[in-house]
Structure 1
Amino acid sequence: MTFSSPYGEIEIPNISITDAVFGGLTEAELGRVALVDGPSGAETTYAELRGQVLAIAGGLAARGIGVGDVVALHAPNVPAFVAAFHGILRAGATVTPVAALSTAEDLARQLQDSGAVLLLTVSPLLPNSGPGAEAAGLAKDRVIVLDGAEGYASLRDLAGGGHAAPEVSFDPATQLAVIPYSSGTTGRPKGVMLTHRNLVANVLQSNPAIGLDAHDRVLAVLPFTHIYGLTVLLNLALRERATLVTVPKFDLPEFLRIIQDQRTTAVFVAPPIAVALAKHPIVAQYDLSAVEFVLSGAAALDSSLAKAVGDRLETLVLQGYGMTEMSPVSHVIPRDRPDIDRGSIGALVANTEMRIVDIETGEEIGRPEAGRSLPGELLIRGPQVMVGYLNNAEATSATLEPDGFLHTGDIVEIDADGQVFVVDRLKELIKYKGYQVPPAELEALLLTHPAIADAAVVALPHEEAGEVPKAFVVLQENASLTAEEVVAFVAEHVAAHKKVRAVEFIDVIPKSSSGKILRKDLRGRDAG
């Protein structure tokens, strides 16, 4: 059975993402504040931002950068990132965003794989970006340090030459706008080829449900180098003429201060931040009354955690779903649908279809008459789906079906009302004596315990059972809990095959910059 979006079809114009964001700026809008640097409060108007984009595009063209070139952008969420990103695109080139926390080896690998001919970075990241660029064969004159560093050209050097933005021509349906890197459903990170049309489509698809407009002040703490931050924050907010408040790194007190001082109305988070909002005592010290909604993405959010955040902040909590290979959004809970379960991933965005298939047989799963369906893998089709993996036909064919449906690698269930719930990642399911145990289900349960601040569950190899669930637990400050008590708590609420069989207390759960639990690091503790 193929499920369709309740939003139906919308027209996707054949334009670049830069034209989609900045095209049609009126005189009144040019004077509006586009960007606020969260730590300092410095403001950039739409007129200033557009001028910076054009100047950077001109400077890049003068350096020979244009259509067919790939430029790496390695920076945290600062206003210069926004100008550099669209400046690169306006010059006709393609951006490969590099996560701020990347090591020199990570960066070198991405530069080489993407074929990047230029790197834009910032001075705090030079200890990694400098050696990484050198290892990838980029000379110093091919590295631009946006905020300046001795021996390198700066953003001022790049944009200050007075060069006009070039005339460029390309087909937005085929021209790559970005090449972010993703592990996909399995394996090492791969370059995801996303065209201008992919990005334009996803911006236009997402907002009927999210509903940003010019009155919004949008908090941007989720990294722009991740497709969630790039599409849903940077591009969507600016296209709707909202004000984007940039936050270069997550620090809870500073995060809360910026929400309070900047009176942000829309706060986009990943589940780890949602946990902090629900549980950390410091939250009560700040005035968060301007927040109209919190939207969580990047990993599954349990309904009980969503309710805890909503109750504490007295605000609306939404959840979205997507992946890099989908630009990224396929589902979101609409702001005007209070009836939708907060633990679900919401409604399909416009122009999008889905199927759910049995992970063993591949047979399609339909909507049940009552309760929830059996778990199955979620497949998505729509104009936001990638064109493929860079230089990797094998991975592309394994992920994209001939009819255009994308294998997400996520296990979901659908209920009688058509609501979809993410159970877990296909590659992360624990197999206990042949039974499937979703770690995310156990993690959500553990987080309901008042003494537990955070938790993660991984597979522990077991001679008889094959694998058993092991919980890594972070306790609340001054809380006391034994491993036996954790095991007993879980056992009270789950079937016998889902019981936690081992517990380890740790100080922090390792997570990526986008909020995903780094299970390989936890499994490595046992291997070590």
Structure 2
Amino acid sequence: MIYSSRYPDVAVVDELIHDRVLGRAAARGALPALVDAVSGRTITYGELAVLVERLAAGLSAEGIGAGDVVALHSPNTVLFPVVFYATTRAGGTVTTLSPLATAPEIAKQLVDAKARLLVTVSALLPAARDAAERVRAETGTAIEVLVCDEAEGHRSVLGLLRDGAAPAPAVDPATGVAVLPYSSGTTGVPKGVMLSHRNISTNLEQIAGLHRIDEGDRIIAILPFFHIYGMAVLLNNALMRGATVYVHPRFDLDAFLTSLERDRITHAYLAPPVMLVLAKHPKVGQLDLSHLKRIICAAAPLDAALQAAVAERLGVEIGQAYGMTELSPGSHIHVDGAADEPPACVGSLFPSTQARLVDVASEADVAAGEPGELWIRGPQVMLGYFGRPEDTDAMIDADGWLHTGDIARVDADGNWFIVDRVKELIKYKGYQVAPAELEALLLGHPDIADAAVIGVYDDDNAEIPKAFVVPMPGAALTAEAVMDYVAGLVAPYKKVRRVELLDAIPKAASGKILRRELRQRERAQS
């Protein structure tokens, strides 16, 4: 059975994302667009429009144009969107990197994305410089490292500002790649997700009638801009609508709670760990949050009881949303004002979006009301994985259905629930962790003969990576040593947090790891 949205279709939007998002920025003039929540530094919409145009002209003068990739490696700052939209205005593609990424991780993405420039901040220069040197050593290509602030020996992006308009980008919105974020998809190592201008602009149109923010609304930005969730709701949608975005460089509990009250935040986009804070932290009860209208939680499933607890404590409407990087990123959301939607559901299907629920083994549609793997088809489905046609074909079938790897169900009222996951991907506090990536690192340890990684749940019911490790004969390997080894090679959210030593990893005759047996083992021990 093919499920369609209960809402009318929208027209495909063939508009470049900087035009779509900032088309009214100059007219908004002195309205604050971005406020640094720490320093108070403010960029108005009028200033944002000028900065983007001048930097785009500078990037064009540096030779950045259609097909060129600029890597943006930065925490949340008020200049992040300036670099982001200036790159697309020049005709280029942005690939974003976590500020927590290690030098090897950065280098790997730079090579894979074929990036020409790396833009970072001075605090992250050690990793950025190391990564650039690794790229030079591996490929013979020198990648210049620029900074958004100031650092000796590096040009600042502000030094690239030029007067006059940038050349018009020769980019087809339907095929031109605006953003190249990296995702593990349903399995495997991180891959570049090719999102076109059409993908993103149309996804913004799809959400417009379901969830509304306006000029005068105030958005708290604790989600990272580099992640597709933050990119979509804190930059693209918020700035298109004329909201003021209060930018936090990282999540700090006191700063977050202070900002909610001080900055009279009207909309908060969060992940489940922060919802737990709102439900239980004593300071929350002391705050005046009367201006807060709406909370949307996504990136990982939110427990129904927790959702209800926060809604009751704060007296605000709380809903969930669902999507993935490969969907630009949204396909479902709790619609504004839909008070009858049950807790734990991810809302309704976006307009112009179709869904199927299929049996994982047979790929036949399941009966009404039964759970099945969620397949999505619509204009927000990615172009594909960069340079990986086989991975693309495994993700998107010949009929255009994207196989999400998530198990879902839909009730008779059209409310959708995510109930399980087929895919191996681990979601640690909303971040994607690919078991295959960790397994490859573990196998590089001289004392490890074999390894497998799965997601398990800690005492707070949060998913964490656990490694099953087979030591080399005679090796004096400990769980602590394994965790320390991985921690030295990956960003903090990718760390292995539990280790169990085994005599052998269960595998099929083909050599594929039998993760279901490891999960059964874990359940038996719990």
CA–CA separation in structure 1 for the residues paired with 2:35 and 2:61: 29
CA–CA separation in structure 2 for the residues paired with 1:304 and 1:188: 34
Residue 360 to residue 522, structure 1, CA distance change in 2 (3 Å): farther
Give 2:458's aligned residue.
472
Residue 470 to residue 156, structure 1, CA distance change in 2 (3 Å): closer
CA–CA separation in structure 2 for the residues paired with 1:61 and 1:361: 51
Q: How far does the alpha carbon of each residue in 1:474-505 deviate from its partner, in whole angstroms, 9 at most, with x for none?
A: 59xxxxxxxxxxxxxxxxxxxxxxxxxxxxxx
CA–CA separation in structure 2 for the residues paired with 1:171 and 1:47: 27
Alignment match of 2:413 (pick from 413, 417, 431): 417
- Note the C-alpha offset of 1:471: 4.5
Give 1:265's aligned residue.
266
Find out whether 1:143 has 2:145 as its counterpart.
yes
Q: SS of 2:56's equivalent? A: helix
Give 1:480's aligned residue.
none
Q: SS of 1:254's equivalent? A: helix
CA–CA separation in structure 2 for the residues paired with 1:226 and 1:180: 8
- Note the C-alpha offset of 1:524: 3.8
| Contact residue 194 and residue 327 of structure 1 kept, 8 A | yes
Find out whether 1:183 has 2:184 as its counterpart.
yes
CA–CA separation in structure 2 for the residues paired with 1:517 and 1:8: 40
| Contact residue 141 and residue 153 of structure 1 kept, 8 A | no
TM-score w.r.t. length of structure 2? 0.81
| Contact residue 187 and residue 424 of structure 2 kept, 8 A | no
Aligned length: 451
Give 2:298's aligned residue.
297
| Contact residue 331 and residue 348 of structure 1 kept, 8 A | yes
- Note the C-alpha offset of 1:423: 1.3
Instruction: After superposing the two structures, state which structure 1 stretch, 206-215 or 259-268, moved more.
Output: 206-215
Unpaired segments ≥5 residues, structure 1: 430-438, 444-457, 459-466, 476-509
Residue 143 to residue 26, structure 1, CA distance change in 2 (3 Å): closer
| Contact residue 217 and residue 244 of structure 1 kept, 8 A | yes
Residue type at the aligned position of 1:317: I
Q: SS of 2:210's equivalent? A: helix
- Note the C-alpha offset of 1:414: 2.1
CA–CA separation in structure 1 for the residues paired with 2:219 and 2:169: 31
Residue 471 to residue 336, structure 1, CA distance change in 2 (3 Å): closer
Find out whether 1:335 has 2:336 as its counterpart.
yes
- Note the C-alpha offset of 1:68: 1.3
Instruction: After superposing the two structures, state which structure 1 stretch, 202-211 or 337-346, moved more.
Output: 202-211
Q: How far does the alpha carbon of each residue in 1:298-350 deviate from its partner, in whole angstroms, 9 at most, with x for none?
A: 11111111111111111111100000000110000001210011200100111
| Contact residue 221 and residue 247 of structure 1 kept, 8 A | yes
Residue type at the aligned position of 2:148: L
- Note the C-alpha offset of 1:408: 0.5
Find out whether 1:122 has 2:133 as its counterpart.
no
Give 1:504's aligned residue.
none
Give 1:406's aligned residue.
402
Find out whether 1:152 has 2:154 as its counterpart.
yes
Matching of residues 96-115 of structure 1 within 5 Å: 96-115=95-114
Find out whether 1:62 has 2:48 as its counterpart.
no
TM-score w.r.t. length of structure 1? 0.81
| Contact residue 123 and residue 149 of structure 1 kept, 8 A | yes
Q: Percent identity?
A: 45
Give 1:506's aligned residue.
none
Residue type at the aligned position of 1:186: T
Q: How far does the alpha carbon of each residue in 1:223-262 deviate from its partner, in whole angstroms, 9 at most, with x for none?
A: 1111111112201011111111111100111111111111
CA–CA separation in structure 1 for the residues paired with 2:268 and 2:501: 36
- Note the C-alpha offset of 1:163: 5.5
Give 1:20's aligned residue.
20
- Note the C-alpha offset of 1:420: 1.6
Give the superposed CA RMSD: 2.7
Residue 279 to residue 527, structure 1, CA distance change in 2 (3 Å): farther
Give 1:382's aligned residue.
378
Unpaired segments ≥5 residues, structure 2: 429-434, 436-452, 462-485, 504-526
Residue 79 to residue 197, structure 1, CA distance change in 2 (3 Å): same
Q: How far does the alpha carbon of each residue in 1:444-476 deviate from its partner, in whole angstroms, 9 at most, with x for none?
A: xxxxxxxxxxxxxx9xxxxxxxx999642159x
Give 1:435's aligned residue.
none
| Contact residue 141 and residue 152 of structure 1 kept, 8 A | no
